[in-house]
C-alpha cells in the first residue's frame, strides 16, 4: 500500500495529462509520482510534485515550486558536485550534459522537464542512510542517555548540534506507514554485508564533499539522508532529505542555545505542533496509521503565510547553494523551455 494522499492534492493537471498521453504511473509516493519509461524498461520517470508531508502525514496543500527545486537540486549535486560518484541518472543519447528525459520530449511534449529526470532502476534497501556532521535531530535524546548515536560512541557533554569532525552513520528503517525507527549501524551491516559497508563509504564520501562545498556558500548541511546501495538513488541533498542552515545563524543559535533556522519545511512543522486536534494538541502527536487521524489532517486549512514562508525557504536555499535563481538554472542548465 502506498502513501495516503488527501484527495485535494492526489492529482494535478500534470499527472492527468501524462496519463492521458499514454504514460503508465507505476507508483505514487508522498511527493513523487513515478511513471514507466515508454521505451526503455530499465528506466523510470519520477515526477516531483509540490505536495508536502510533516510527521508522516501528507497535507492537503501544495507548496509552489517545491517539486521543481527538488528536481533541480538533485541534478545539480549529482551532475556537478558529485560528478564521478555512481548514481541512477540516465544521460541523454543526444547530449551527455542533459538528462535522458530530453530524448522523450518530442514524442511526449507534456513531460515536465522542470520536475522529471529519467533514472535507471536500482535497488533501494528499506533503510534510510542518514549521515550527520552535527549531533542533533532524532538521535540526540538517545545520545543524552547513552553517549551514543547509531551505535557510535561519542564524547560526553556534547551540546545539541555540536560539530563532529568525522560524519557518523545513523541509519533508520524505512516504514511504509508510521514513523521510521532508528537503528544501529551494526544492524544495517548485518543485513547488507560487504555491499552495505561499501555503500556507507560511498555515501560518507559524498556527504563530506557536499558539506565542504556548502560551507563555501555559507551553508551548513547538519545532516542528510541518502538512498540506495550500489549507486546514489532518489533525491539527493534537498530540503526534504537534509537539514540546511546558514553558518551565520548557526553561530547565533549556539550562543543563544536554540535550534538554528532550518531551510526546509520548518515553518509548517512549527505550525503543525500548535494545531489543536480532537485528540490533543499537535499533528506530531497523531498516528498516520489511524484513519480518524488521517481524516482530520486531510481536512486541515494551512495558513497562507506558512505556505509562503516555506516556499521562500526552498527558493532561498536553492539560490544560496547553486549560485543562481531556479529560473536561470532551469533555462541555462536544464534547458527547460529551450533547445540546446
The pLDDT tens digits of the residues spanning 80-102 come to 999 999 999 999 999 999 999 99
- What per-residue confidence (pLDDT) applies to 177? 64
Give the position of cell 514513523. Answer: 179
Q: Report the C-alpha gap between 160 and 158 in whole angstroms.
A: 7
DSSP-derived letter for residue 334 is S
Q: Which three cell numbers stand for residue 310?
A: 516555506
Nearest CA-CA partner of 207 in 239, 245, 169, 153: 169
Show the domains of the chain with their CATH numbers: 13-122+303-332 (3.30.200.20), 127-230 (3.30.470.20)
Nearest CA-CA partner of 241 in 89, 85, 78: 78
- What per-residue confidence (pLDDT) applies to 2? 59
- What per-residue confidence (pLDDT) applies to 70? 98
Residue 14 Cα distances to 3, 21, 212, 333, angstroms: 19, 10, 37, 22
The pLDDT tens digits of the residues spanning 254-295 come to 999 999 999 999 999 999 999 999 999 999 999 999 999 999
Low-confidence residues in the chain, pLDDT < 50: 1
Residue 105 Cα distances to 66, 70, 73, 229, angstroms: 22, 20, 21, 30
Strands 25-28 and 242-246: unpaired
Give the CB-side neighbour count of residue 131, counting CA atoms within 13 A: 22
Residue 322 Cα distances to 67, 68, 116, 330, angstroms: 16, 14, 19, 12
- What per-residue confidence (pLDDT) applies to 337? 83
Backbone angle region of 75, left / alpha / beta, with phi > 0 → left and psi within -120 to 50 → alpha: alpha
Q: From the CB of residue 210, how many other CB atoms can be counted at a distance below 10 Å?
A: 19
Helix (H) or strand (E) holding 243: strand 242-246
- What per-residue confidence (pLDDT) applies to 44? 98
Size (the chain), residues: 340
- What per-residue confidence (pLDDT) applies to 178? 64
Sign, CA dihedral 260-262-267-270, equals negative
The pLDDT tens digits of the residues spanning 216-238 come to 999 999 999 999 999 999 999 99
Q: Report the C-alpha gap between 209 and 211 in whole angstroms.
A: 5
Percentage of residues of the chain with pLDDT beyond 70: 98
- What per-residue confidence (pLDDT) applies to 322? 98
CB 73 within 8 Å of CB 318: yes
Amino acid at each position: 500500500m502506498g502513501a495516503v494522499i488527501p484527495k485535494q492534492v492526489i492529482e494535478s493537471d500534470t499527472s492527468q495529462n501524462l496519463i492521458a498521453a499514454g504514460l503508465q504511473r507505476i507508483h505514487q509516493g508522498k511527493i513523487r509520482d513515478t511513471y514507466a519509461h515508454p521505451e526503455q524498461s530499465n528506466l523510470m520517470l519520477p515526477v516531483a510534485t509540490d505536495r508536502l508531508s510533516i510527521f508522516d502525514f501528507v497535507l492537503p496543500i501544495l507548496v509552489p515550486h517545491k517539486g521543481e527545486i527538488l528536481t533541480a537540486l538533485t541534478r545539480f549535486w549529482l551532475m556537478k558536485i558529485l560528478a564521478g560518484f555512481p548514481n541512477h541518472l540516465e544521460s541523454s543519447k543526444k547530449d551527455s550534459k542533459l538528462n535522458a528525459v530530453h530524448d522523450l520530449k518530442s514524442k511526449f511534449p507534456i513531460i515536465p522537464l522542470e520536475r522529471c529526470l529519467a533514472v535507471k532502476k536500482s535497488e533501494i534497501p528499506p533503510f534510510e542512510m542518514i549521515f550527520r556532521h552535527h549531533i542533533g535531530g532524532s538521535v540526540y535524546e538517545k545520545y543524552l542517555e547513552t553517549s551514543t548515536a547509531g551505535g557510535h560512541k561519542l564524547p560526553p557533554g556534547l551540546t545539541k548540534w555540536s560539530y563532529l569532525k568525522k560524519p557518523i552513520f545513523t541509519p533508520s528503517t524505512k516504514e511504509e506507514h508510521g514513523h521510521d525507527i532508528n537503528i544501529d549501524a551494526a544492524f544495517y551491516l548485518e543485513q547488507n554485508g560487504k555491499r552495505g559497508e561499501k555503500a556507507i563509504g560511498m555515501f560518507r564520501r559524498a556527504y563530506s564533499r557536499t558539506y565542504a562545498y556548502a560551507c563555501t556558500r555559507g551553508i551548513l548541511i547538519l545532516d542528510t539522508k541518502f538512498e540506495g546501495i550500489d549507486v546514489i538513488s532518489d533525491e539527493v541533498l534537498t530540503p526534504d532529505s537534509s537539514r540546511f542552515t546558514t553558518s551565520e545563524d548557526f553561530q547565533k543559535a549556539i550562543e543563544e542555545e536554540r535550534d538554528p533556522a532550518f531551510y526546509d519545511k520548518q515553518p509548517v512543522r512549527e505550525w503543525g505542533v500548535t494545531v489543536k486536534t480532537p485528540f490533543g494538541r499537535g499533528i506530531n502527536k497523531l498516528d498516520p496509521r489511524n484513519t480518524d487521524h488521517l481524516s482530520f489532517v486531510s481536512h486541515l486549512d494551512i495558513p497562507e503565510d506558512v505556505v509562503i514562508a516555506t516556499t521562500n525557504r526552498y527558493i532561498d536555499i536553492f539560490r544560496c547553494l547553486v549560485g543562481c535563481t531556479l529560473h536561470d538554472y532551469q533555462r541555462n542548465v536544464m534547458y527547460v523551455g529551450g533547445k540546446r
